[in-house]
Amino acid sequence: MASLSRQLAQWVVGLRYEDLPPAVVDRAKGVTLHSLASVLLGSQSPAGQQAVKLITEEEAGVRKGATIMVNGSKVTKGGAAFANSEMALAGGKFDTFRMLTHPNTAIIPGALVAAETAGASGKDFITGLAAGYEVMERMASDFIPTVMSRGFHPGPVFGIFGAAVAAAKILRLTEDQVNSTIALCASLAGSNIEGIRSGGRALREGAAVRNAMLAVALAREGHVGGETVLEGDAGFYHAYTGNNKGLLSYSFVGDTRTSLDKITADLGKDWMFLETLYRIYSFAGYNLAHIDVTAKLCAENNIRYDDVDRVEAVVNWLETQYPSPAFPSRREDGPARPGGTAYYTAYGVVKRGFPALRGLGADPAGADVPPEVLELMKRVTIIPSHQMTLFGPRITIFTKDGKSYTKQSTGREFIWDFNEEARRIREVIPGLPIPAAQFESIVATCRDLERNDRADALIQLTLKQG
């Protein structure tokens, strides 16, 4: 049987736009819009500005390369990918797959660099995006908690593969070149999390996508990466999960074993890409449903803050021990704190929503936070369970008149189509560095992306006019 990377490479090279289901095309447009909004927001943050400053100072004078979004400077392909990814991370509007990975922060910057380099069409861009997402998420799906428990952040560890595959597809690399690209990513993947546990700042998808551009360039020039680099005895899965037999240290659903064969099973038929959620709020993804589901429960039953005695939320147990039960730095099932799960559950009751423009780093106990939220969160109990689906809490509100009301989340509340994404992401328009009309042009271009001759028109639309 062909190696795992070879099977993936064969599928990537053979994939055509015409093979993509309408839902996949729609999701590719939506995650692109979500990422561009995040880049625009992140361009105004200290972290985003620091990344742009670093790259423009290091790479001044590059004649042929790629464009840093919003800023407009021309730098190396790797430099542009890094800066654009860092701005996307700083903006806080990620997508989310299985809680701990955020594919669009790596894949979209890599794909846009490749599209600009190749002059690729919207159809080519969408096809590359779909290939990158599907490969990344299949490689990651069952292994995410185990990789995190070994001290590596699975976002960049797997994100490098998504970014590299998307770029390789858009640049029309051959099967051998794509195979080598995937193999080289195994050598270039990384992101240890001990630094952030000891007072440091994470080096995440920005570094991953920069290395992805290096893997693509090396493979394009003929660097052979190897054949069993993923599943081999000394390969990627052995290194990052501790074995190449599918044995798991942790699992969202309680399984202790999976199979590497599942990674390529039914490729192109069952699209894991469609499980990607939109993180519309700028906080930990496992708290998303605690806002919207609680808000709907209150709206459906006309429950007001003054009516509430207490709240219980039953959640997937891994959502209560971040980033991993192996070394939890954040426990959500203990005393309530501003910015914790109980806080967001209370926010859903008090405000029946959450401001989309409330950015990363905002003080969860700041003066603009309703005092009712800080009071009610002390009456919220978080109950971990091995039976609950990821991002699918069961919320029960007990009212002062002795009644109780329950709503079970599906875990899919933040999966929606492009039109809903456009509606919800428009909430950030007042905080963008470009005029509303210019952002509407981005929305329209994403909506009709398959009709565009140049996908990199999206890059130009992020630039400040004049």
Query: pTM for this one?
Result: 0.97
pLDDT digits (tens, 9 = 90+) for 89-128: 999 999 999 999 999 999 999 999 999 999 999 999 999 9
pLDDT digits (tens, 9 = 90+) for 317-356: 999 999 999 999 889 999 999 999 999 999 999 999 999 9
Residues 217 and 273 in one domain: yes
Does 417 map to a domain? no
Neighbour tally for 389: CB within 10 Å: 17
Question: Same domain, yes or no, for 253 and 313?
Answer: no
Same domain (yes/no): 164, 270: yes
Does residue 252 sit within a domain? Answer: yes
| Cis peptide bond prior to 109, omega within 30° of 0 | no
Say what percent of the chain tops pLDDT 90: 94
Indicate if 115 and 139 belong to the same structural domain. Answer: yes
Q: Is the pLDDT of residue 64 over 90?
A: no
CA quadruple 386, 391, 394, 395: dihedral, nearest 10: 140
Model confidence at 466: pLDDT above 70: no
Same-domain pairing of 235 and 376: no
Q: Are residues 251 and 289 in the same domain?
A: no
Strand 308-316 relative to strand 394-399, pairing:
antiparallel
CA 211 – CA 77 distance, rounded (Å): 10
Mean pLDDT for 60-76 is 93
How far is it, in rounded angstroms, from Cα 67 to Cα 265? 37
Indicate the number of domains in the chain: 2
Cβ-defined contacts of 244-249 (< 8 Å, 24+): 246/142, 248/142, 248/143, 248/145, 248/146, 249/145, 249/146, 249/149, 249/150, 249/326
Whether residue 385 is contained in a domain is answered as yes
- Same domain assignment for residues 323 and 454: no
Q: Does the residue 396 lie in any domain?
A: yes
Strand 404-408 relative to strand 394-399: parallel, antiparallel, unpaired?
antiparallel
Are 182 and 264 found together in one domain? yes
204, part of any domain: yes
**pLDDT digits 0-9 by tens, 25-40:** 999 999 999 999 999 9
Q: How far is Cα 335 from Cα 393, in angstroms, rounded to an integer?
A: 18
Q: Tell me, what CATH number does 96's domain have?
A: 1.10.4100.10
Compute CA distances 311 → 303, 401, 425, whole Å. Answer: 12, 14, 29
Q: Residue 415 domain-assigned?
A: no
Instruction: Judge whether 147 lies within some domain.
Output: yes
Domain holding 375, by residue range, is 285-408
CA distance 300 to 348: 13
Residues 362, 272 share a domain: no
Average pLDDT across the chain, whole number: 96
Predicted confidence at residue 268, as pLDDT, reads: 95
Q: Are residues 402 and 346 in the same domain?
A: yes
| CATH (domain of 359) | 3.30.1330.120
Q: Are residues 90 and 146 in the same domain?
A: yes
- Is 418 domain-assigned? no
Higher-pLDDT residue of 303, 195:
303
Residue 196: per-residue pLDDT = 86
- Residue 189, judged by CB atoms within 10 A of its CB (0-12, 13-18, 19+), counts as buried
Nearest CA among 212, 181, 203, 184 for reference residue 9: 181
N- to C-terminal Cα separation, the chain: 57
Query: What would the pLDDT profile of 207-240 be if each residue is shown by its tens digit?
Result: 999 999 999 999 999 999 999 999 999 999 999 9
Q: Are residues 104 and 244 in the same domain?
A: yes
**Structure confidence at residue 185 (pLDDT):** 98
Q: pLDDT (tens digit, 9 = 90+) per residue, 346-390?
A: 999 999 999 999 988 889 999 999 999 999 999 999 999 999 999
